[in-house]
Amino acid sequence: MKIGTDIIQIARIEKLINKYGNTFKKKYLSQEEINRTKTIASLAGLWAAKEAISKALGCGICADLTFQDIIIGKNHRGAPYFTLSPKAQKVHQVINSSLSISHDGGFAIAVVAIRTA
């Protein structure tokens, strides 16, 4: 089992959105993620989640695992989960995972536990 965590100040993401707008969003989010996410706090949560996943996989955001390789979704109960692109899944071989995202007090945090082959 591998664990990753990340925390980010929501204001940092807000500054980037204000400066770069959709260009920034498209760099690290899929179109589905952009459409589903309505608040800056939620955008920051997705950033934290993708960083936490990259840390748990031991590589960080790199050629083997880009922001676009990680897709964050929600199940029927609203709980977050992630999938990897076929290219990234082939490299990292995720078997099972659990993802938690929260935001409060001006910060967004994500924690992930991952089991790989």
Name the helix (H) or strand (E) containing 46: helix 40-56
Find out whether 115 and 5 touch, Cβ atoms under 8 Å: no
The pair phi, psi for residue 41, each rounded to 5°, is -60, -40
Give me the sign of the Cα torsion angle 27, 32, 38, 42. negative
Catalytic residue among 25, 50, 92, 103: 103
Catalytic residue among 19, 55, 74, 76: 55
Nearby residues of 51 by Cβ (< 8 Å), 6 or more positions away: 4, 6, 8, 61, 110
Is 92 noted as a catalytic residue in this protein?
Answer: no
Is 55 noted as a catalytic residue in this protein?
Answer: yes
In angstroms and rounded to an integer, the radius of gyration of the C-alpha atoms of the chain is 13
Catalytic residues: 55, 103
